[in-house]
A and B are shown apart, each in its own frame.
Chain A
Amino acid sequence: GENVEQHPSTLSVQEGDSAVIKCTYSDSASNYFPWYKQELGKRPQLIIDIRSNVGEKKDQRIAVTLNKTAKHFSLHITETQPEDSAVYFCAASIDRGSTLGRLYFGRGTQLTVWP
């Protein structure tokens, strides 16, 4: 089955700095890569996703890059703010066009943004 590795497990940055979280996957059939933000005691919230037909996607301060050859993808957060503090999970899945398969999650990154 798929194996998703995520690094680092913890990340501390100063407000205004950038944060980068990296993930690798093992199954070349995976073609859908979402990122979820989970605040303490809350549900995972989808913040951005990317499919294997594109190499980069951006949404305001958040961007995701995908390298299919190397089987890795990264989350980039610019101009970080204290409210960005949370646990971030990467995941991989197979999008068969009509339906999404199960999500394989990384172990999460605890991001702390210091004011």
Chain B
Amino acid sequence: DAGVTQSPTHLIKTRGQQVTLRCSPKSGHDTVSWYQQALGQGPQFIFQYYEEEERQRGNFPDRFSGHQFPNYSSELNVNALLLGDSALYLCASSLDNGGHRSSGNTIYFGEGSWLTVV
């Protein structure tokens, strides 16, 4: 049973550049969320995708955008990188039961992508 997988694991970018991070959810999951975790901080919610649409969005500028594909995998794009974008970017997956009540929903995180902006 594959867990949440992310790529790349580490990358270095220059200010002003653009970056794309990728995520494959846990097998059987259809909902993908992205979080940013700065050093020494808790993860901060960026957005959540379900059925290829952004369902929820946190307090992040429009430079942060995403996409979800029909196979439920997802990409996070960040444009015009700033030094302050340096962080661990975590993908999390869960399952939307489509209206069937369940007490078993949980959220699982991938290993993350370490982004350094120089």
Q: Which residues of A contact B (CB under 8 A)?
A: 32, 34, 36, 42-46, 49, 51, 53, 89, 91, 93, 95, 97-108
Contact = CB atoms under 8 A, between A and B. Distances in A.
Interface string B51-76: 00000101000000000000000000
Interface residues of B, number: 33
A95 B97 CA distance: 11
B94 A107 contact: no
B25 interface: no
Given A51-B103, A105-B43, A43 B111 contact: yes
Contact of A102 (B33, B95, B96, B103): B33
Q: Which 6 A-B residue pairings sit nearest by Cβ, starting from the closest?
A: A105-B42, A99-B96, A97-B101, A98-B97, A102-B45, A43-B109
B33 A108 contact: no
B21 interface: no
Contacts of B56: 101-102
A45 B105 CA distance: 15
Contacts of A103: 33, 35, 43, 45, 92, 107
B101 A98 contact: yes
